[in-house]
Amino acid sequence: ASDVYKRQVVSTQSTWEFNFQFMEEEFDYDYFVIGGGSGGLASAKEAAKFGARVAVADFVTPSPQGSKWGLGGTCVNVGCIPKKLMHFAAGAGELKHDQKECGWDIDVKSQHNWEKMVKNVQKHIKKLNWGYKVELVEKNVKYYNKLASVVDKHTIELNDFKKPAEKVRAKYILIAVGGRPTYPDDVEGAAKYGISSDDLFSLQKEPGKTLFVGASYIGLECAGFLTGLGRESVVMVRSILLRGFDQDVANQIGDYMEKHGTRFIRKSTPTKVEKTEEGRLRVSYLNHETNETLQEEFDTVLFAIGRTAETKKMGLENIGVKLAKQGKVITDDDDRSSVDNIFAIGDCAEGRPELTPSAISAGRYLARRLFNGETSLMDYSYVPTTVFTPLEYGSCGFSEEAAFEKFGQDNVEVYHIKFKPLEWNFLPARGDDGYIKVITNKQDEERVIGFHYLGPNAGEVTQGYSIAIKMGVTKKQWDSTIRIHPTTAEEAIGISSKKSENSEAKAGGC
Amino acid sequence: GDVYKRQYQRRVHGDQILKMESLPQYDINQFLQEENEFLSKKQPTIFIFCGSTNPETGKSWCPDCVEAEKPISDVVIPIAQEKGIPIIYCKVGERDYWKDQNHPLRKHETFNLKGVPTIFFWHPEGEHKVLVEEQCFKTAVLETLFEV
């Protein structure tokens, strides 16, 4: 009977219409999105807008310490959102000292209640989880709270480990599974006793004295706010801080954190984590410079040494989807994998920034290309970011090292300046720790190709400047803009001090 | 207040599913008098806020509230009854009274209403779930109130 139908259709309709009808009969969904995080949800909702039949499968495999969470992905549950809330909580605590000098009657010694903060943070996260669920229902996107794996290029198997697994068929598949914290495989006791960022934001017990293994932004941001909340925090660094970021600024961040109470154990990596009789954790570590093995006790050990794409055991390799060596999906500019109907975006895709807004944008562009006939590709140049360390760091464009490498040191001019936010003057002990670097391309009308801001409200400052940089602002145009006073953002305008002439930045003035 | 409570208990005890218009109704003043009692019970409670009935038409002045009546009666009331979750149905007042930005429920510490109809699933721990206006029309959306 179905063969007769197909023959009739071919004789009366164009090939395109035939394919469309055939597709409708064959597939349960036009678009199946695996992963309900920033990228996946954005792409699913955009596709549904154009009338596609869309489904999202989201499932959180518990962390080694048993942590789980709801719909929304890393950013909402164990990333950006709780991080920023706790960073704010730490800052709010440090303001006590300023408040006293501002004239408020404040007890600077008042203690922080970890459980209360976690409760309020989780309350907000659960509100977001539920809001996303409602939104999917409102937008006619089917939500499966099941673990998805691919059986063949059009078939997805869904399992929640409670009911029997089910299979669905889809025309296009989007892999948006993100990543999870990596545990070291050469440190005895790491997975048994160590937590990760997956566990920190819902930690029911008081963390106490905490060791952070790893000095990229996750380790530094978390150690930073834990110090601000009054807990003894130590960061163990193998080599450098904030790999991939401007190293001059990265080192200033480290110096600031050390000055403000975070201890750094440098050039070291842990070798063992074991439990003491009192229930604390004893960490053995090797100092690579001196070759000594040392030990120290902590209440909590958090591993932040990197993240791995959640693409294992999904069946991707079996159907020919090529993965890079860390497990990320290799895609072309169209976000297409090596299998023509399977796409990947966000943290799990090779070579993409691990940023929520980037994944959201890529997801929307992809949905428009697939279901609205559009052709625009995502532009990954000049994507601004901010690291929410105790002294925040916003950047857009090239680091000093990357600019030298791409354009040649002689063709690049680096302007820099130190500053002290006006408000810091209630506490005279504060120094001019603020720092701004503007990098220009001398061969192209001194176009601004790199912007680095170390200081309060870095995200707010950088967002505005990033628009100008993306539009190709030159140093002359930049400096011709009138400053807003008194702000810290204004310090970026009119910097005359060149690093090539004076490696020590001078402080700006009024 | 007491009269309404007795009516409600009689109906639930009679094992009938209530339609929205036969739920005991609190006008805004009665509600404000009794709200501390509702909230102090520390029990998850569903509050439904709608515009008051226009005596000429017999229906609410708020067209969205009228449209939400059937979905709420079909989904929210039966499931809430089944789970033993009390429903408090409050008529926020006449149109002009509601449109005033100083309406007590607009500035309320807990409810902070932005529009009617609002279904406010109140939890003692603060993890409230709120659906507003056209979110109250779709049975699939209403069902999400009760998902774990």
- Does A127 sit within 8 Å of B127, measured CB to CB? yes
Mean pLDDT computed over B61-74 = 93
pLDDT in tens, A299-324: 999 999 999 999 998 999 999 999 99
Distance CA B121, CA B105 (A): 15
Residues 6+ apart with CB under 8 A from B61: B51, B52, B53, B54, B94, B95
Is the separation of the CB atoms in A454 and A251 below 8 Å? no
Residues in chain B with CB shorter than 8 Å from the CB of A130 are: 129, 144
3-state secondary structure of B31: helix
Is the separation of the CB atoms in B4 and B26 below 8 Å? yes
- Does B141 sit within 8 Å of A137, measured CB to CB? yes
Mean pLDDT computed over B19-41 = 88
The CA radius of gyration of chain A, in Å to the nearest whole number, is: 26
Angstrom distances, CA of residue A196 to CA of A192, A210, A244, A303, A322: 12, 12, 22, 5, 28
- Does A123 sit within 8 Å of B131, measured CB to CB? no
Is the separation of the CB atoms in B1 and B30 below 8 Å? yes
* Helix locations, A143-288, DSSP H: 190-193, 197-200, 217-228, 247-259
Residue of chain A whose Cα is closest to the Cα of B126:
A123
Catalytic residue status for B65: yes
3-state secondary structure of A271: strand
Determine the pLDDT at residue B61: 93
Residues in chain B with CB shorter than 8 Å from the CB of A126 are: 127
Distance CA B92, CA B111 (A): 12
Task: Show the tokens assigned to A70.
Answer: 């709801």
Q: How many CB atoms lie within 10 A of CB A58?
A: 26
Q: Which residues of chain A have pLDDT under 50?
A: 1-23
Residue of chain B whose Cα is closest to the Cα of A126:
B127
Q: How confident is the model at residue B7 (pLDDT cuts 50, 70, 90)?
A: very low
Determine the pLDDT at residue B42: 87
The dihedrals phi and psi of A468, each to the nearest 5 degrees, come to: -65, -40
Per the omega criterion (within 30 degrees of 0), is the bond before A486 cis? yes
Residues in chain B, total: 148
- Does A138 sit within 8 Å of B141, measured CB to CB? yes
Q: How far is B140 from chain A (nearest CA, A)?
A: 7
Nearest to A123 among B126, B131, B141 (CB): B126
Residues 6+ apart with CB under 8 A from A45: A135, A136, A139, A141
Residues in chain B with CB shorter than 8 Å from the CB of A129 are: none
Q: How far is B125 from chain A (nearest CA, A)?
A: 9
Determine the pLDDT at residue B22: 79
Determine the pLDDT at residue A309: 97
| Residue in the structure block whose two tokens are 């993890």 | B127
**Sign of the torsion angle spanned by Cα atoms A35, A36, A42, A44:** positive
DSSP A363-420: HHHHHHHHHS---PPP--TT--EEE-SSS-EEEEE--HHHHHHHH-GGGEEEEEEEE-
- Does B125 sit within 8 Å of A123, measured CB to CB? yes
Distance CA A360, CA A504 (A): 40
Determine the pLDDT at residue A4: 41
Nearest to A130 among B125, B129, B143 (CB): B129
Catalytic residue status for A485: yes
Q: Which of A134, A139, A160 to mutate to test the interface with B (most CBs of B within 10 A)?
A: A134
Amino acid in the structure at residue B13: H
3-state secondary structure of A269: strand
The catalytic position among B50, B65, B90, B136 is: B65
- Does B127 sit within 8 Å of A126, measured CB to CB? yes
Determine the pLDDT at residue A19: 45
pLDDT for B6 beyond 50 = no
ipTM score assigned to the predicted complex: 0.77
Q: How far is A383 from chain B (nearest CA, A)?
A: 35
Determine the pLDDT at residue A508: 61
Angstrom distances, CA of residue A298 to CA of A231, A260, A261: 11, 20, 16
Distance CA A413, CA A499 (A): 8
